Amino acid sequence: MTKALEVTGLAVRTAAGRPVLHSVSYEIAPGEVLALVGESGSGKTTAGLAALGHFRRGLVSGGGKVVLHPREGEPVDVLSLDDAARRQLRGNAVAYIPQDPALSLNPALRVGRQIAEVLETHGYAGSADERVAEVLAEVGLPSDEAYQRRYPHQLSGGQQQRVGIAMAFACRPSVVVLDEPTTGLDVKTQALVLETVRQLTSEHGVAALYITHDLAVVAQLADRVAVMYQGNLVECGVAEEVLRRPKHAYTKRLLAAVPDLGAQPAPAPPPDDAVLAARDIRVSYGLQKVLRGIDLAVTRGESVMLLGESGSGKTTLSQCIAGLNRGFSGTVALEGTPLAPAARQRSTDELRRIQYVFQSPFSSLNPRKTIAQSIEVPLVRLTSLSRTERRKRVAETLDRVRLRQDLANRLPDQLSGGERQRAAIARALVTTPDVLVCDEVTSALDVSVQATIVELLGELRRELGMAMLFVTHNIALAPEVADRIAVLRGGEIVEEGPVEAVLNSPSHEYTSELLATTPRL
């Protein structure tokens, strides 16, 4: 077949000589989507970045070839180029779409200017203004001047991601590498982004390397699938064949870990006094009403899934409960005792008893502290444990979230995305809280690690009687993680009930729409 990207015998090792990738080979044709899947630490992002000639800190090339076949000109081995030539290639012939658009977009520049900068950097021959408007329209965004003058913080997560896609496709590249581009997006926004990627790659003959842990998305988008495990490519083939008739034992394990909407949910716990109760929570920013009188309660040992798409208000509500957003009216009570709106006004014990896990471990972990130091911080501030006791607790918690002890002394940027998220969860669990607020905590995890974390949270609920508010857009997790579901739309809870009732007989049309939009294998 015609090739746009050809990778042969790619090897990557650490500066100390430890192998990370072992002779990985794959190829992608123009207009084709190859999904690169595997759990955290399998090497899929390392393999994807190597297509751009980029190696993360501490990693070096161990051999092999990455040959790019541009639309015009001769094939080029990316790994043989010097730094200047690689920089010229990136964004032009080969482009990259990162996992978190909020971190990749410049918050100080308007979105139109950011796209124009890509064109100017690579010497775009036509009118930059016309191309900016054209590529915004291609990704389904308004192309008028007013929209181009918006800053990233004025856009939703899905809009930010589509701006990132527009930047990547601006110079009409031959190859685009997409690194978990729908992570953190609700199912409706995810569907829009996937359709955008599918349409652009097909219409413009762009070869796409789609790095992901979401096998349901793979089933919808990819033409072929390559499976990574411990630095090796263990299986590669047509998507339908790999997903329906996997040959490798590891691929079978990945598929078995995919959440199933048809799974039988756990029985709900017996009624009990609420350990956490939010009453008539209202939040407004100027004339915009974000939360419109929310009532929500969680009993001891119970897990409530707070479900909604981007902009529904679910993160705002969870932050009000945790004292991270004090600009609300209404009350939040812990076992009947009203809490101060702001976390800094709550007692040490109240802070210990309600812990929060943020969506993005990139921004929630201190980049200058080791993982062990970050996990120990809550113990220093919220408990009277001795230094020896704190270190023992940190080690125990790392083990509970399936993080190797040798990762404890690493900095966050030396861990994979999934490992960083598990470290963030460990930091919240280390004080053994009564209430755990989880804000999209599995969105960056591959399905096997996701299953491990969901199982871990279930064990902790049973062992400690811990209540959990599980904030997510992924309704597919409901049977495995929740007892009840509260569906949030436009700042209001439009449906609430036991998992089985909501999934099998939704009473609100919005819930039915979410169920219909959710990707399935």
Number of other CB atoms surrounding residue 367 within 10 Å? 10
CA angle 506, 186, 235 (to 5 degrees): 105
Pair of tokens at residue 80: 């043989």
Exposed, middle or buried: residue 100 (CB in 10 Å: 0-12, 13-18, 19+)? buried
Neighbour-count burial for 232-260, b at 16+ CB within 10 Å, e otherwise: bbbbbbebeebbeebeeebbeebbebbbe
In the prediction, which pLDDT does 269 show?
45
Residue 324 has φ and ψ, to the nearest 5°, of -95, -5
pTM for this one? Answer: 0.63
Structural domains in the chain, sorted by start: 5-99+173-256 (3.40.50.300), 274-517 (3.40.50.300)
Q: Give residue 511's identity as a one-letter amino acid code.
A: T
In the prediction, which pLDDT does 271 show?
41
In the prediction, which pLDDT does 254 show?
85
Distances (CA, A) of 431 to 154, 274, 339, 355: 36, 21, 19, 8
In the prediction, which pLDDT does 8 show?
94
Cβ-contact 471, 498 below 8 angstroms: no
CA–CA dist 64, 451 (Å, integer): 34
In the prediction, which pLDDT does 126 show?
84
pLDDT under 50: residue ranges of the chain: 269-272
Distances (CA, A) of 472 to 314, 315, 407, 439, 476: 8, 9, 28, 7, 10
In the prediction, which pLDDT does 191 show?
79
In the prediction, which pLDDT does 270 show?
40
Of 261, 258, 191, which is closest to residue 221 (Cα–Cα)? Answer: 191
Exposed, middle or buried: residue 270 (CB in 10 Å: 0-12, 13-18, 19+)? exposed
In the prediction, which pLDDT does 184 show?
66
Per residue in 146-184, pLDDT (tens digit) is: 999 999 988 877 788 889 888 988 888 899 999 888 776
